[in-house]
Amino acid sequence: MAKEKDNKKSADNKGNYDASSITVLEGLDPVRKRPGMYIGTTGPDGLHHLITEIFDNSRDEAMGGFANDIEIALLPGNRVRVVDNGRGIPVDIHKQTKVSALETIMTVLHAGGKFGGEGYKVSGGLHGVGASVVNALSIYLKVVVHKDGGIYMQEYSKGKRKAAVKKIGSTKQHGTIVTFEPDTEIFKEGVNFEWHRVVGHMRQQAYLVRGLRISIIDARGQVPTFGQDDDIFFLRETGIDAPSHTFYFEGGLVSLIRFTNQLLKPTHKSIFYVEKKVEGVESVEVALQYADDVSSRILAFANNIHTPEGGTHVTGFKTALTRTLNTYAKNNNLAKASEESFTGDDALEGLTAVISVKLREIQFEGQTKAKLGSMEAQSAVATVFGDAFATFLEENPEEARSIIGKVILAMKARKAAKAAKDSVLRKGALEGMTLPGKLADCQSNDPADSELFIVEGDSAGGTAKQGRDRRTQAILPLRGKILNIERARLDRMLGSEQIKNLVLALGTAIGDTFEIGKLRYHKIILATDADVDGAHIRTLILTLLYRHFRPLVDAGHVYIAQPPLYKVKRGKEILYFYDDAAKTKALGKEFDDAAMADAEAEAAEIEDARNDLLNAASVGGEEAGDEAEEAAVAKGKAPKVSIQRYKGLGEMNSDELWETTMDPEKRILKQVSIDDASEADKVFDMLMGDDVPARKSFIQSNAKLATLDI
């Protein structure tokens, strides 16, 4: 009876909403409850953001003139160690919290030296949550402070202190050492710091703070205890033998422009640069150079925080750039009076620019700081850059003519592209009324359920059309290798039948009329052969998608199919393997090419067993064959194993292609994503651009790493 009463009470409370329904999260519990609010994601991006948050605190010391040396070390056991030679985090008692200032900073949200006073004039730490968020999301964190002749230490776990701050020694150094280990309960995809990603970010930061030395050490291959001693300051001074990089640039943004344009041919020799302080903004820095390219590269920073989504500083820059170029061209009769003004896209074509602003009071959109929202940055950048760039053009007439010539060429190409686009992308085509003849469309009209397989050639296309699920899967065969669009303008691109078919099939249009909302398939799957030609075709298609359909990649709509390399038939069992390692692991060394010689002695015995199976099956039928096979296995004999190496999708029959590559329940797809846009841009320039010597050097340097299928 009591049980029934309890159940009734529970049921009555289901609809109640009173004070007892309110949960109060204390300390750093909100961070562990909703980590995505603070670091964006608990995937690889969020994991690497932890390093950025701790590094940003050290870099802010350097921006303030208090440090000039930072070291980041990846340690065994998924730990990261960040050291700076700044002032050291204060360790005295905080008046408000009644505990050490160090403990306050590490365990209280919105606590730091960046909210007021003269602790920092400029910083990237807007919200004061960086260090405490990293602490909350780490299973282990230790801070060692070298300050005022003493060494102070405190350890934490999941954001909670293990003991009070204590003095553990004396020192002649000054600075802060933070060692942390991300919590695998939060980062369930695993803790795997990518070396190239960390190095790329730190190189970028070294360009932005002139005179700052940044060292990165990969000590993950060392013994687990290495570098944990509290009396060790910079690990590099211990003579550690580990992969490392050190960056130090006196040229600042100008050096970054040279680095970004190293694979391109500059339109003009001189790199424009300006740095100036204006009211309300501590510093506005802009550097730019045009190159012989159809794409633009704009790197934007606010208080040295990379803002990939731009913001007010980028808006101010683009406005001033277009206005200044139009004014100069008309004042100097470089543009015909009858011609229309340059558009923003005209002015951006081929441009490489770096914009960096530093503000005392800064507003980002979200803790991940992807976009700047401070309105004063827009007018400051527009004024500083606009005035300085106008002066640059007047004082460098030859450079100015080269730049204006580049922009005029872009304007003419835009008009030609519009004419070509209007002729190709007719109204009916844009509405999906006219589709390419070779496209085998799916029955579903819901883009969320629809997939487009882009396959190589008519042979694979025919197999895929037979093996597909007609309800949700569409097939578009492309004949041969499509045009390399890396240096091709839109009008020439749309003259290619293969590219035109792809544009029509996607339904989004292209160029300034692109609309991602009209995408007809939410999965665009590249299915090419597993050989050199297939890889080349895949690269050409990826280049097209990256340069002209970038929002599709950003939204996660682009995938690469993974067809198997081997079909292995062992008796009645059929196995598929996607690489040599998996095949060797499953079948054993006796079936490796290198070990086949050792198996020759057993060949006769295996052949006898196979003959027994065939004879039994022919005399007694399938059941007798099965019994003979079991008997052969029991005797230590085995049926013959046949291994088929697939050269292309066309070699598969429709059932095989469906089972291995197209069946959503069994297939393997790799989603195409962009971790570092500037690095991706550089790779496409190198692989698909005009700089043949750089590509040749890359091939020669990496030739030994290639796996050749000869």
Annotated active-site positions, please?
456, 529, 531, 533
- For residue 183, the SS3 value is coil
Q: CA 370 to CA 195: how far, in whole Å?
A: 22
Q: Report which DSSP code applies to 482.
A: P
Amino acid identity of residue 374, one-letter, is S
Nearest in space to 518 (alpha carbons), one of 490, 549, 547, 544: 549
Planar angle of CA 179, 184, 186, nearest 5 degrees: 100
- For residue 353, the SS3 value is strand
Q: Report which DSSP code applies to 537.
A: H
Contact 494, 485 (CB under 8 A): no
Q: Report which DSSP code applies to 413.
A: H
Q: CA 484 to CA 501: how far, in whole Å?
A: 16
Contact 631, 624 (CB under 8 A): no
Q: CA 293 to CA 61: how far, in whole Å?
A: 38
Q: CA 229 to CA 81: how far, in whole Å?
A: 12
CA 167 centroid distance within chain: 42
Planar angle of CA 163, 165, 169, nearest 5 degrees: 120
677-688 vs 532-548: helix crossing angle, rounded to 10: 130
Q: CA 214 to CA 304: how far, in whole Å?
A: 14
CA 207 centroid distance within chain: 20
Taking the CA atoms of 88, 100, 143 and 40 in sequence, report the sign of the dihedral they define: negative
